[in-house]
Amino acid sequence: MASHHPAAGAEITVDSRKLGVWVFLASEVIFFASLIVSYLVLHNRVTSGPTAHEALTLTIPTINTMILLTSSVAMVLALAHLRDGNRRASIAWLLTTAWLGICFLILKAVEYSQHLHEGLTPSVNVFGSAYYTVTGFHAAHVAVGVIWILSVALGLRRRLSPQNDVLVETVGLYWHFVDLVWVAIFMVVYLLR
């Protein structure tokens, strides 16, 4: 993998794949910032139908926050074990991370079905539009993360080694980023409702 390492004279030395993910995530910050700003601008302009205060409860999102934060710990452990040369433990923690991500998605689906049951749909009012869009794009990112983690833990497991920890580190960067976005959404959408 000679090309992933910087040229001998470069001042900046970092694996190119890791830098690429960092740069991509920097770009994603603007994407979520645009969505969250749109939510902040619009969510109080409800003309009819449920408002944020009426529709949102804290139970499921709080549990989901804990699930995602725990999953980040699992991801950190997966990387640490891989660097210690313990590939089996690393894969186990990767699968744990993915499983917690799936739990998050299941609970999110339960929450959505409760909303729909109570008449909060994407088209009922601007709050509904913005709420489903912000949380939906985040959930889609969690789903992509779960697929990515599973393909590293299962599909590429033979390539995992302390020298090739970048496979875990890159998906880890993405996963922590998705967690951080959730923390922002939790505060803006749920705590400030």
Binding positions for other proteins, rule: CB under 8 A: 1-3, 6-12, 14, 16, 19-20, 23-24, 26-28, 30-31, 34-35, 38, 41-42, 45-47, 122-123, 125-126, 128-130, 132-133, 137, 151, 155-156
Beta carbon nearer to other proteins, 14 or 73: 14
Number of other CB atoms surrounding residue 37 within 10 Å: 11
DSSP 43: T
Residue 136: CB partners within 8 Å, gap ≥ 6?
A: none
To the nearest whole angstrom, how small is the minimum distance from the Cβ of residue 47 to other proteins?
5
Query: Of 49 and 103, which has the nearer Cβ to other proteins?
Result: 49
Token duo for residue 117: 């049951």
Q: How far is the CB of 130 from other proteins (least distance, A)?
A: 7
Q: How far apart are CA 62 and CA 49, in angstroms?
A: 25
Closest approach of other proteins to the CB of residue 89, in Å:
24
- Residues 115 and 110: their CA atoms lie apart, in Å, by 9
Closer to other proteins by Cβ: residue 49 or 102: 49
**Of 191, 174, 184, residue with least CA distance to 71:** 174
Q: Please, which residue, 36 or 67, has the CB nearer to other proteins?
A: 36
